[in-house]
Amino acid sequence: MKYLVISDTHTDLNNAINIIEQWKEAIIGVIHLGDHDEDAEILQKQYPNLIFHYVAGNCDVGTNPQEKIIILGEYKIWLLHGHRYQIQWGYDGLYYAAQEKNVQVVLVGHTHIPCILEDDGVLIMNPGSIVQPRHEKGPSYGMLGLEKDGRLKKEIYFIKS
C-alpha cells in the first residue's frame, strides 16, 4: 500500500500527471495537500481507479476541508496544508498539535520545501512542490506506504528536468 503525496500544484498538472502515470501500477492513491485542491478533483476524475484524499490550502476557496485524518495500517495520518500553523517558521507547533491529536504522521505542504522529520514518535513529511520549488533541488513529491512488516516507508523524490 503506497500513496503518492503532492502539494502546491497551483493549477499546473503536467508534472502530477507524469508522476501518476509513472507510478499508477505501484500506488493505491494520491494525497494532495492543498493549494489548488481543485487540481486534485481534476486528477480524481482522470484516475477513477485511484483513491484520492485532499485538503484545502491558503490559496483555495472551495468547500473542501482544511484538515483530514486518514488511517494507513496502524498509523493515524493528519493531512493539512500547514499555513495555519505558520510552518514557514518551523515545525514545533505542528509537533505539539500532532501529539494533542494523537496522530503518528503529519503530511503537510505550504513551504514548497521538501523534508522528512521525526521527533518523539511523530513523523512530519512535506513533499515540497511539484511545480514551484523554493529550494535548489527542483520540483519534488513524496511517497508514503507500508512495508510488508507494517513499518512505514517514506521517501522524497525529485523531478529531473
Domain ranges of the chain: 2-158
DSSP state of 124: E
Q: 3-class SS at 126?
A: strand
For 108-128, the pLDDT digits (tens) are 998 999 999 999 899 999 999
Closest CA to 79 of 91, 96, 66: 66
Q: Is 80 exceeded by the pLDDT of residue 133?
A: no
> Does residue 33 contact residue 57 with C-beta atoms inside 8 Å?
yes
Q: Is residue 51 classed exposed, middle or buried when 0-12, 13-18 and 19+ CB atoms within 10 A define those classes?
A: middle
The yes/no answer on whether domain 2-158 falls in CATH 3.60.21.10 is yes
pLDDT at 63: 81
pLDDT at 134: 77
The Cα–Cα gap between 88 and 82 comes to 9
What's the gap between Cα 61 and its chain centre?
Answer: 19
pLDDT averaged over the chain?
Answer: 92
Cell of 98: 500532532
pLDDT band at 161 (very low <50, low <70, confident <90, very high): low
pTM for the predicted model, two decimal places: 0.94
Cell of 152: 512505514
For 72-108, the pLDDT digits (tens) are 999 999 999 987 777 788 888 899 999 999 999 999 9
> Does residue 110 contact residue 35 with C-beta atoms inside 8 Å?
yes
User: Would you report the helix, strand and coil content of the chain in percent, each value rounded to 5?
Assistant: 20, 30, 45
